[in-house]
């Protein structure tokens, strides 16, 4: 069956995140105070045909690590999501 | 005379400048479309700047799956000289042919300006004709050019003399001011600046000539090219 999967790609700890820090600096101008630790990333959504949820996540994790992220600077994590 | 293959991906846009730079020094250059799977008769490969495959996902991420990259990897493994400029550098790191990664510039600005580079190592096909400490003015033109790598990789780069060019003044947040790196053997080199745009004083600098001369393996005695 098909499982709907979300893969989040985020910068690894210790890797500079200029996009996140630029967003964080911009927020007070809109009146949003008290927002810290902003990180930017990407999410990918797709369906995976697999025997069960575990197999779907395994496949999604593997393709997340091999294509969707650059393991030198990014982590990829897969989760089952709502359509 | 060398025959240089300039790889063209959908979205490359510096391939004509690369060909012109090679021809200016008296060698031959030809376009190699990214679907080609052989590099027969080619003495050196250049991956030019641009936006291969639209830079979708990440710069270079999809280009490494182009059929030609298998041939480029084999060519490099056999010791053939490979040069990645700007987007070509991004392709080489994504393909795992060079260590590290290129991130968005510090400050999130697209940078298009002349930079002063300092030659840090001459043990590469791109810098073998230059001298350590030599300063070269070469333009940059990129958004994702901030070189990064982990400590272990950085130690190794330093130890092996793989950091070939550094920025005199760091424009983009690159680790250790790195502008260009080589593989351990020195035959694969990538750099963010554009030496092919610094081939004539008419364009502001002819300092790219020494780099292209190195890459092409030629030595030009008189500075006739700097007119």
Integer Cα distance of B51 and B13 in angstroms: 7
Integer Cα distance of B89 and B50 in angstroms: 11
- Test B105 with A15 for CB contact under 8 angstroms: no
Q: What is the mean pLDDT of residues B112-139?
A: 97
- Edge-to-edge order in the sheet of strand B188-191: B28-33, B3-8, B44-47, B82-85, B188-191, B178-182, B163-167, B111-119, B135-142
Integer Cα distance of B157 and B150 in angstroms: 11
Q: Which of B93, B94, B108 sits opposite A18 (nearest CB)?
A: B108
Q: Which fold has domain A2-80?
A: Mth169; Chain: A , (3.30.1280)
What is the domain partition of chain A in residue ranges?
A: 2-80
pLDDT at B218: 58
Neighbours of A11 (CB within 10 A): 21
- Edge-to-edge order in the sheet of strand A74-80: A41-49, A2-11, A74-80
Per-residue pLDDT band for B29 (boundaries 50, 70, 90) equals very high
Strands (E), B20-177: 28-33, 44-47, 82-85, 101-103, 111-119, 135-142, 146-148, 163-167
Please list the active-site residues of B.
86, 194, 196
Rg over alpha carbons for chain A, rounded to the nearest Å, is 16
Q: Which of B101, B105, B173 sits opposite A73 (nearest CB)?
A: B101
Per-residue pLDDT band for B1 (boundaries 50, 70, 90) equals confident
| Listed residue (B119, B99, B90) closest to B177, CA to CA | B119
Q: Are B60 and B50 in contact (CB under 8 A)?
A: no
Q: Reply yes or no on whether the pLDDT at B221 is more than 70.
A: no
Q: What is the mean pLDDT of residues B108-112?
A: 94
Chain A residues touching residue B58 (CB < 8 angstroms): 70
Q: Are A4 and A53 in contact (CB under 8 A)?
A: no
Integer Cα distance of A17 and B105 in angstroms: 10
Nearest CA in chain B to A74: B101
Chain B residues touching residue A67 (CB < 8 angstroms): 57, 61
Q: Reply yes or no on whether the pLDDT at B31 is more than 60.
A: yes
Measured CB to CB, residues of chain B less than 8 Å from chain A are 57-58, 61, 93-94, 100-101, 103-108, 146, 148-150, 173
Q: Which domains does chain B have, with CATH numbers?
A: 3-222 (3.40.50.880)
Nearest CA in chain A to B105: A18
Percent of chain B with pLDDT over 90: 92
| Listed residue (B192, B167, B171, B220) closest to B25, CA to CA | B220
**Structure confidence by residue, pLDDT tens digits, B60-104:** 999 989 999 999 999 999 999 999 999 999 999 999 999 999 999
pLDDT at B226: 42
Q: Are B211 and B18 in contact (CB under 8 A)?
A: no
Chain B residues touching residue A22 (CB < 8 angstroms): 108
Neighbours of B65 (CB within 10 A): 13
Integer Cα distance of B27 and A10 in angstroms: 45
Q: What are phi and psi of B16, to 5 degrees?
A: -70, -40
Q: Reply yes or no on whether the pLDDT at B47 is more than 60.
A: yes
Q: What is the mean pLDDT of residues A40-47?
A: 96
Integer Cα distance of B180 and A16 in angstroms: 20
Per-residue pLDDT band for B164 (boundaries 50, 70, 90) equals very high
- How close A82 comes to chain B (CA, Å)? 23
pLDDT at A14: 84
Integer Cα distance of B221 and A8 in angstroms: 55
């Amino acid at each position: 069956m098909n499982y709907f999967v979300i893969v989040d790609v985020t910068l690894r700890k210790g890797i500079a995140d200029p996009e996140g820090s630029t967003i964080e600096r911009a927020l007070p101008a809109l009146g949003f105070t008290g927002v810290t630790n902003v990180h930017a990333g990407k999410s990918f959504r797709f369906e995976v045909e697999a025997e069960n949820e575990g197999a779907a996540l395994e496949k999604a994790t593997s393709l997340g690590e091999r294509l969707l992220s650059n393991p030198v600077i990014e982590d990829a994590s897969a989760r089952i999501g709502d359509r | 005379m060398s025959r240089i293959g300039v790889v063209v991906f959908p979205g490359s846009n510096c391939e004509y400048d690369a060909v012109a730079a090679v021809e200016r020094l008296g060698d031959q250059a030809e376009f190699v479309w990214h679907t080609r799977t052989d590099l027969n008769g080619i003495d050196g490969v250049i991956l030019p700047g641009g936006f291969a495959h639209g830079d979708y996902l990440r710069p270079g991420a999809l280009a490494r799956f182009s059929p030609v990259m298998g041939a480029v990897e084999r060519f490099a493994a056999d010791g053939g000289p490979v040069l990645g400029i700007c987007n070509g550098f991004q392709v080489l790191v994504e393909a795992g042919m060079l260590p590290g990664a290129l991130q968005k510039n510090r400050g999130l600005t697209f940078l298009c300006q002349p930079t002063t580079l300092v030659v840090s190592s001459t043990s590469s096909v791109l810098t073998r004709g230059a001298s350590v400490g030599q300063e070269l003015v070469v333009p940059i033109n990129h958004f994702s050019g901030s070189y990064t790598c982990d400590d272990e990789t950085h130690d190794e780069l330093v130890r092996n003399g793989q950091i070939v060019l550094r920025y005199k003044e760091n424009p983009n947040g690159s680790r250790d001011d790195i502008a260009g790196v080589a593989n351990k053997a020195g035959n694969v080199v990538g750099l963010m600046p554009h030496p092919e745009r610094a081939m004539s004083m008419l364009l502001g600098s002819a300092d790219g000539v020494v780099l292209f001369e190195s890459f092409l393996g030629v030595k030009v005695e008189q500075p006739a090219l700097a007119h």
